[in-house]
């Protein structure tokens, strides 16, 4: 599995996943108010933390995007991305198991943009896998050979 430690693969995954997080943060940064309705629609959190989550989550997505796109602290950004994606996948799966299709809030802040929750879980899994590769299989250092 040394191909997972290829520097070019890490660059490509960082740019792709960083671009996705940058796009996801865009409209929510401008106006986080619709995101409150979307998060409420998941019916997982009590009312108290929903406003804070709607305000800070897009900024965290932007921070992840910057780290992944620039390569600066890419593994730390991959850790944050893994955590966010775990949270997103879990929230979607809970609603899918309930039989509830939700407005994702992933790339749009529209509460009317309702999708099949299972399809959204399947869409998020490759992003989660990419984040795990970036986190758990750091690229080989130049000039080093692996034993083994």
In 3D, which of 54, 53, 13, 48 has the Cα closest to residue 33?
Answer: 54
Q: Name the pTM for this structure.
A: 0.86
pLDDT at residue 31 in the model: 86
Of the listed ranges 84-93, 95-104, 128-137, the least confidently predicted one is 95-104
> Is the predicted pLDDT of residue 96 greater than 60, yes or no?
yes
In 3D, which of 133, 37, 42, 40 has the Cα closest to residue 82?
Answer: 133
Q: Say which residue, 126 or 30, is predicted with more confidence.
A: 126
Strands 114-115 and 102-103: antiparallel
- Alpha-helical segments (H) within the chain: 7-30, 33-41, 47-70, 74-98, 117-136
pLDDT at residue 136 in the model: 94
Span 35-56, average pLDDT: 90
Q: What mean pLDDT is reported for the chain? A: 88
The 10s digit of each residue's pLDDT in 97-127 is 988 888 877 776 665 556 778 888 999 999 9
């Amino acid at each position: 599995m040394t191909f997972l430690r290829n520097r070019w693969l890490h660059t490509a995954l960082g740019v792709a996943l960083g671009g996705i997080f940058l796009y996801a943060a865009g409209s929510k940064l401008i106006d986080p108010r619709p995101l409150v309705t979307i998060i409420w629609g998941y019916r997982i959190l009590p009312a108290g933390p929903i406003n804070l989550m709607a305000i800070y989550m897009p900024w965290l997505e932007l921070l992840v995007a910057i780290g992944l796109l620039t390569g600066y602290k890419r593994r730390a950004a991959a850790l944050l991305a893994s955590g966010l994606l775990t949270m997103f996948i879990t929230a979607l799966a809970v609603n899918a198991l309930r039989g509830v299709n939700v407005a994702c809030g992933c790339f749009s802040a529209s509460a009317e943009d309702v999708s099949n929750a299972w399809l959204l879980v399947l869409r998020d899994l490759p992003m989660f896998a990419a984040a795990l590769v970036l986190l758990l299989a750091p690229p080989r250092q130049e000039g080093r050979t692996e034993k083994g």
